[in-house]
Amino acid sequence: MAPRFPVRALLAALLALTLGTCALRYRASLPDPAPPLAADRDTRWRQDIAYFTRNLARLHLNAFHTLPREVFEVRAAQLAGRVPDLSDAAIVTELTRLAAAIGDGHTGVYDLEGRFLKRQLPLRFAAFPEGLFITEAAPHYAHLLGGQVLAVNGSPTAQVRARLAPLVPQGEGSSWVNRTWPALLTRPDLLAGVGLGPAQTVTLTLQVNGQDLQAKVASRVASADRAGWRSAAAAAPSWAQPGDVWFTPVGKAVYLRLAGSPPDLARRSRELLLTLDRTRPERLVVDLRDHGGGDYTRLAPLLTGLQRRPWLKVHALIGPRTFSAGVINAAQLQALGATLVGEVSGGRPNGYSERRRFTLPASGLTVDYSVRVYRFAPGDPDGLQPDWPVVQTFADFTAGRDLALDRALNGESGAR
């Protein structure tokens, strides 16, 4: 474990982080008033593209830190010129691509109400070292669970990834794109928008239980209803609890699931610290693998409490879904001397953050943008690097093996 800093110096550093002095710059403003909307479809889309271009450039702290302004404006003008030839879903796809090119994970375009990206596949996909797999399925397609995807509408998986990856907000760690792009496969309107086939039915070339097969999967109107869905993952440990934030003793350790920053995190932190004092475990394992963001300052009471308990070993689990405030909290724990276990974080510890949003007046599309820039690590790392690297394979996923958790709970440093 890394050496701990002197108490007084570290507490001062934590206070600085909590107050946000690591935020090098900040911008707060409001979008322009919505213009009077035209009656015809093409002009309304052009109004939205102009509104998007003008307001993203003005409201983002530094919209052109990666993509030159002239390139951004040329692409926007080209899209406006193609509006009559594109479907609504294709225009949304191209706006998504343009926003993603800005180059930070908090900037993007989203059809949150499903006005244009109306359809979804009754499947969920995930990328593993062995390839791309179906990890969840609606009842009618349960026989495809665990199938490795070799092609989509005749295009090999590598080509599909190359088409979809530019729609993922860029500028974060490489593991972020690898984790995020499979989710886009569930939206056939996006597949059609990047030239990968029709939106009604998607043909998957699969290998299931050693057998090659083709499956035609009918898309349906997007819905949050997941009743009866099945997962390829093994059952969670018997001691696991529901919810984003909870803790429990596991052997000689205490396990803390931290998958967000709820308003009552300070109270829960105090309860955890009391438990640590009463039970005196050998180590605390903080699981940040599903922490995708929130208010990073809410962890300050726990960080201060851990610094005052030098007898406790701390291990923090990180991975591709560790993003935004999750990355910051992992960096803060590492500064306290915690050992990071797992995979490279999806988000970078340095970069643009603090999401704000505005709405395009004609289409209702949501535009997210960043108003702060943070630096929580020296240099420009591609994400937080684990001290003990442990990569999850698909075989581990289906068998219920969580080697990163096992090593953190047992204090084993062996790499895989």
- What span, in angstroms and rounded, lies between the C-alpha atoms of 9 and 115? 52
Q: What is the pTM of this model?
A: 0.90
Taking CB atoms within 8 Å and a gap of at least 24, the contacts of 398-406 are 398/146, 398/232, 398/233, 398/234, 399/234, 400/233, 400/234, 400/235, 402/237, 404/289, 404/317, 404/319, 404/341, 404/342, 404/343, 405/255, 405/285, 405/287, 405/317
- What span, in angstroms and rounded, lies between the C-alpha atoms of 168 and 180? 7
Residue 17: predicted pLDDT: 47
Residue 26: predicted pLDDT: 60
> Which residue positions in the chain have pLDDT lower than 70?
1-28, 413-416
Query: Residue 202 has which token pair?
Result: 């998607």
The neighbour count for residue 177, using CB atoms within 10 Å, is 23
Residue 299: predicted pLDDT: 97
Picking from 353, 351, 347, the residue whose alpha carbon sits closest to that of residue 368 is 353
Q: Do domains 7-22+234-347+383-410 and 119-231 have the same CATH topology?
A: no
Residue 413: predicted pLDDT: 64
Domain ranges of the chain: 7-22+234-347+383-410, 31-110, 119-231
Residue 22: predicted pLDDT: 53
- What span, in angstroms and rounded, lies between the C-alpha atoms of 282 and 261? 25
- In CATH terms, the superfamily for domain 7-22+234-347+383-410 is 2-enoyl-CoA Hydratase; Chain A, domain 1 (3.90.226.10)
- What span, in angstroms and rounded, lies between the C-alpha atoms of 238 and 127? 26
Looking at 219-332, which runs of residues are DSSP E strands? 220-221, 230-231, 245-250, 253-258, 283-287, 313-318
Q: What is the CATH number of domain 119-231?
A: 2.30.42.10
Helix (H, G, I), strand (E, B) or coil at 207: strand
